[in-house]
């Protein structure tokens, strides 16, 4: 039985990927961060190890008996906007995995990138894999480092034929969000602390669908290609309306002018610099909130057989997991 080495296995997406890989008949070696709660992987018939993607010797010792790698591990911190350690993990950690895939002769590396490495579009003309990178305007090491890691891998492919596919998720919603990360938005909505919505929108995708695409990419798709793993393009109002229906909550949010969102983000960022506490809404995130982040998942649908589950299912799964694990009262 072929074995898949999964980095970042204890995160929301990594936990779904481990389950999907088992479902598709692979053995799984799940790499988790030392000291992290790995309860999202409890009960799975996997080999669980603890290490850091910056520890190349550890990686080599543990990747040697594997056939494939799905590299999920990344830091997603967006505050402060410039964090050197984010770039170190996201770029140099990826470089370590890439070099060891080549040295050890593994069959393929599937790298989890980000749709933010491509320019978004409109509802009528959504962004795709041919779009240029425009994320530098946000001045965030997370966004820049994900693009840099992607380009590192694609350059390696062009120069040597390195066996890599890049799967680029949009905004994921789903179970196993222990952080919580994206699910924080649903918790805020459930607890009534989100005052309203802005002008923008996103492409929302079920994390379990991204997991299917990532595992399919071990044998499907074309090497040296990127695939935007997306779902439905929705305005924030549409998303919150659907989430309220799923949670059986009345929709009472009001539209907030973007100027006020920017002002709140700016004040929060100033306060955060003084207090040292991460703001709930930073200025950088306020800027992004006013941009329509719409993408087409067509290429992933066709070439990776990526399913398109309704986002309500992802919301239901996320809320059910939160409720089961005590996040909701």
The pLDDT value given to residue 145: 96
Could you give the angle at which helices 236-246 and 311-324 cross, rounded to 10 degrees? 50
Q: In this predicted structure, which of 5-19, 147-161, 170-184, 251-265 has the lowest mean pLDDT?
A: 251-265
- The reply to whether 21 falls in a domain is yes
The pLDDT value given to residue 303: 99
pLDDT over 80 (residue 164): yes
d(CA 304, CA 311): 19
- For residue 38, the tally of other CB atoms under 10 A from its CB is 18
- The reply to whether 120 falls in a domain is yes
Tell me: the pLDDT tens digits for 40-66?
999 999 999 999 999 999 999 999 999
**Which one is predicted more confidently, 237 or 141?**
237
- The reply to whether 47 falls in a domain is yes
Which structure tokens are listed for 307? 């399913």
Q: How confident is the model at residue 290 (pLDDT cuts 50, 70, 90)?
A: confident
CA distances from 246 to 97, 159, 235, 318 (A): 40, 48, 17, 11
d(CA 315, CA 312): 5
DSSP letter (8 states) at residue 217: T
Q: How confident is the model at residue 204 (pLDDT cuts 50, 70, 90)?
A: very high
- The reply to whether 31 falls in a domain is yes
d(CA 73, CA 6): 8
Residues 6+ apart with CB under 8 A from 28: 3, 4, 6, 9, 18, 21, 22, 44, 46, 47
- The reply to whether 50 falls in a domain is yes
- The reply to whether 23 falls in a domain is yes
d(CA 305, CA 329): 38
Which structure tokens are listed for 193? 């602390």
The pLDDT value given to residue 275: 76
The pLDDT value given to residue 310: 98
CB distance 157 to 224 below 8 Å: yes
pLDDT over 60 (residue 79): no
Average pLDDT, the chain: 94
Q: Structural domain of residue 99, as residue ranges?
A: 3-178+204-232+294-307
- The reply to whether 265 falls in a domain is no
Which structure tokens are listed for 264? 């709140």
Residue with tokens 């996320």: 318
- The reply to whether 199 falls in a domain is no
Sign of CA dihedral 43, 45, 51, 54: negative
Q: Give the rounded percent of residues in the chain with a pLDDT score beyond 90.
A: 79
The pLDDT value given to residue 272: 67
CA distances from 32 to 67, 71, 153, 177, 290 (A): 19, 12, 23, 15, 35
The pLDDT value given to residue 282: 76
Nearest to 108 by CA among 197, 4, 251: 4
SS3 (DSSP) at 116: helix
DSSP letter (8 states) at residue 277: P
For 307, phi and psi rounded to 5 degrees? -70, 165
Evaluate the omega torsion of the peptide bond into residue 180 and state whether it is cis, within 30 degrees of 0. yes
Entry pTM:
0.95
Tell how strand 47-50 and strand 27-32 pair up: parallel
The pLDDT value given to residue 92: 98
How many domains are there within the chain?
A: 1
CATH of the domain at 214: 3.40.50.720
């Amino acid at each position: 039985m072929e074995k898949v080495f999964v980095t970042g296995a204890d995160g929301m997406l990594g936990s779904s990927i481990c389950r999907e890989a088992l479902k598709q008949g692979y053995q799984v070696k799940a790499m988790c961060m030392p000291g992290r709660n790995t309860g999202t992987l409890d009960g799975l018939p996997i080999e669980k190890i603890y290490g850091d993607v910056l520890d190349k010797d550890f990686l080599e010792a543990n990747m040697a008996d594997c056939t494939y790698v799905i590299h999920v591990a990344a830091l997603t911190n967006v505050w402060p906007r410039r964090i050197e350690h984010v770039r170190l993990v996201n770029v140099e950690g990826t470089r370590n995995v890439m070099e060891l895939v080549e040295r050890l002769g593994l069959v393929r590396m599937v790298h989890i990138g980000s749709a933010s490495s491509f320019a978004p579009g409109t509802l009528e003309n959504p962004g795709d894999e041919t779009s240029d990178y425009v994320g530098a305007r946000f001045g965030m090491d997370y966004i820049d480092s994900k693009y840099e890691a992607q380009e590192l891998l694609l350059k390696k492919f062009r120069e040597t034929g390195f066996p890599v596919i890049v799967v680029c998720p949009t905004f994921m919603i789903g179970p196993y969000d222990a952080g919580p990360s994206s699910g924080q938005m649903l918790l805020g909505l459930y607890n009534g602390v989100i005052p309203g919505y802005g002008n923008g929108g996103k492409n929302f995708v079920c994390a379990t669908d991204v997991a299917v695409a990532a595992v399919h990419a071990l044998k499907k798709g074309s090497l040296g290609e990127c695939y935007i793993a997306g779902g439905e393009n929705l305005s924030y109002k549409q998303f919150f309306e659907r989430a309220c229906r799923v949670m059986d909550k009345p929709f009472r949010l009001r539209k907030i002018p973007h100027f006020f969102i920017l002002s709140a983000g700016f004040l929060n960022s100033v306060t955060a610099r003084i207090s040292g506490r991460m703001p709930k809404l930073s200025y950088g995130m306020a800027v992004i909130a006013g941009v329509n982040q719409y993408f087409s998942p067509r290429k992933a649908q066709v070439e990776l057989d990526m399913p398109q589950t309704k986002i309500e299912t992802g919301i239901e799964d996320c809320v059910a997991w939160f409720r089961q694990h005590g996040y909701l009262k």
